[in-house]
Amino acid sequence: MQSAITLPFSQTSLTRPNPVLGSTASAFSTPRSLRFCGLRREAFGSSPSSHLSLRSDRVRTPSIRRFQVSSAASSSNGAPPKSFDYDLIIIGAGVGGHGAALHAVEKGLKTAIIEGDVVGGTCVNRGCVPSKALLAVSGRMRELQNEHHMKSFGLQVSAAGYDRQGVADHANNLATKIRNNLTNSMKALGVDILTGFGSVLGPQKVKYGKDNIITAKNIIIATGSVPFVPKGIEVDGKTVITSDHALKLESVPDWIAIVGSGYIGLEFSDVYTALGSEVTFIEALDQLMPGFDPEISKLAQRVLINPRQIDYHTGVFASKITPAKDGKPVMIELIDAKTKEHKDTLEVDAALIATGRAPFTNGLGLENVNVVTQRGFIPVDERMRVIDGNGKLVPNLYCIGDANGKLMLAHAASAQGISVVEQVTGRDHVLNHLSIPAACFTHPEISMVGLTEPQAREKGEKEGFKVSVAKTSFKANTKALAENEGEGIAKMIYRPDNGEILGVHIFGLHAADLIHEASNAIALGTRIQDIKLAVHAHPTLSEVLDELFKAAKVEEDHATTRTGDAKIKKLNTNEDDPRRGRRDDEKQQPSVSKDLVVRSTSLSSFVEDIYARVLSLVSRVFV
């Protein structure tokens, strides 16, 4: 991902009549494509200064044109090509579809989004949002129930209790609020929300509802996923449930088995144990939390599993689960994951199936464009373009989010959708999935971005580079100690030869919030030798990352920092600069008049120089 953006200029030089001077003045010359970062809109329009009033329509600029397009999109959702009903149709109004729709309107595209269920999809209605409401309750309950923790603050709290229906209402109300916010945001921007099940009829053609057919220049499939239930498991929605049912919190069983110890299973174990349940994990692999960095998993098990009312069985499958009925409990048959021999039978009050999610791609009409799913996932390339059964790209058809299986996270779906919109509006963009963070909202939280240590070492062996690891503890952080939450570590995997960050993993207080400094560094290609000089407020949890970056050791040949001052100094000398396409041994061009030298390296400063010159000329005329 690039931090710079590209603005195409319509002309290499601009000539504007100057009513003050009564002549034609030649404006500044600019390249047809100019890269810059963080440039304010005022740099292209009139100056905010009140010293001289200039008409805003005197100079037509790229920023003004973009603003006019956005304004039109806000009121009428843009103007589609005559041959299509829409510029963009999105099938699925979850977080991914919503993010794509908002960005499309911002880009001036006439956009429609089709939803066969409710706006918000899994994340808002049956996933991220309501689960965080339950976890907020479990966190407070866990703190209030910890007598030693409260006494350390000098606090005395009587026995904590909860109202199950009140907790359930909190989760439901939050989901409703966020769903309404998403709906209103799209309506306000002019996105057409079409109700009904959507499917692809053919190239650039979509059907929704019963007989409604519409066309679009580009189509995005964003249909998400549903809970995956292995064979042999009978779900009744009462005693054998998925995460969809669990989020309603219709009951809090005394003993619940959770099949799967990934994100979903861990978060629900946090909720159920805080509310008084005993939990048994059933994991097919040989260790709990198999998707996490092994060192983080080991520490998390010591904190999140061992001290709580949780036991576990690893290396086994739940081959058969029968719901409770006729006074009998839930029956779970366990077999060895390798030999498939019977190992045990469990009798519990309830079972939660947390074995992951499956793509929701049935009935989408993919056969009409010769697309064959792979284990239910729609095959796409790095730009989310759909690939057909012959390995060829399907023109104008994209798939984002859980349906393509690249990274089954809500924010990844949104990022993919935005990336697609960038492409269809003329700017090539490839999303770096290794820069997308993930989090598990247990107490304490777990977060990660990039590669685990085993993955990084395997990559290093294949590509021939060394891998180093830096660590820091929350026990050394003032803010964490003030909260009596010193349990936790941060870990960074990196290349010592060039300072590249390969992965960061955090277990501790507010780990989900802390990870973004690392994920942004990976996304922007920031090296350790640069970011370790960044300043963090004290005392804050962010200093955990500060200490982590400072603990890394980069080899001397690559330890020189690339500060802004160094860059500017280099630009103003005769040193080798690949951006100028000039070598030290090349003969320098004759220097131009000092009065015409543009000393600023940013376009905004350049415009300010021109503006100052205009003021100077005007003052001379009137003086």
| DSSP line for 474-538 | GGG-HHHHHTT----EEEEEE-TTT--EEEEEEEETTHHHHHHHHHHHHHHT--HHHHTT----T
According to CATH, the superfamily of the domain at 437-551 is: FAD/NAD-linked reductase, C-terminal dimerisation domain (3.30.390.30)
**pLDDT tens by residue, 55-82:** 333 333 333 333 333 333 444 454 444 5
CA distances from 175 to 27, 98, 134, 171 (A): 54, 15, 11, 6
DSSP letters for 10-70: S-SEEEEEETTTTEEEEEEE--SEEEESS--GGGTS--S-SSS---TTSS--HHHHHHHHH
Q: Tell me, what's the pLDDT at 159? A: 84
State the DSSP H helix or E strand holding residue 141, giving kind and residue range, or none if neither: helix 128-145
Maximum Cα–Cα distance for the chain, whole Å? 101
Q: Tell me the backbone φ, ψ of residue 118, rounded to 5 degrees.
A: -130, 150
Give me the active site residues, please.
Answer: 538
Give the residue extent of every domain in the chain.
86-227+359-425, 240-355, 437-551
Which of 114, 109, 97, 101 lies closest to 73, judged by CA? 109
* CA–CA dist 103, 429 (Å, integer): 14
CB 467 within 8 A of CB 456: yes
Residue with tokens 């020189």: 560
Residue in the block written with tokens 């777990």: 446
DSSP three-state, residue 73: helix
The CA distance from 599 to 610, in Å, is: 12
CATH class of the region 86-227+359-425: alpha beta
Residues written for the chain: 623
Segments in the chain below pLDDT 70? 1-82, 557-623
Amino acid in the structure at residue 301: Q
For residue 193, give the nearest of 112, 269, 121 by alpha carbon.
112
CA 546 → CA 299, 448, 471, 483, 540, distances in Å? 21, 16, 11, 19, 10
HSE-up (13 A, CA, CB side) for residue 166: 5
- State how far the Cα of 527 lies from the Cα of 549, in Å rounded to an integer: 10
Q: What pLDDT sits at residue 61? A: 35
Chain centroid to CA 216: 27
Q: Is the dihedral of CA 132, 138, 144, 147 positive or negative?
A: negative
Give the span between the Cα atoms of 193 and 587, in whole angstroms: 63
Q: Which CATH class is domain 240-355?
A: alpha beta
Same fold, 86-227+359-425 and 437-551: no
pLDDT, position 553: 96
- CB count in 10 Å sphere of residue 621: 9
8 A C-beta contact, residue 129 and residue 98: no
Element (H, E) at 98: helix 95-106
| Residue 581: partners with Cβ closer than 8 Å, 6 or more residues away | none
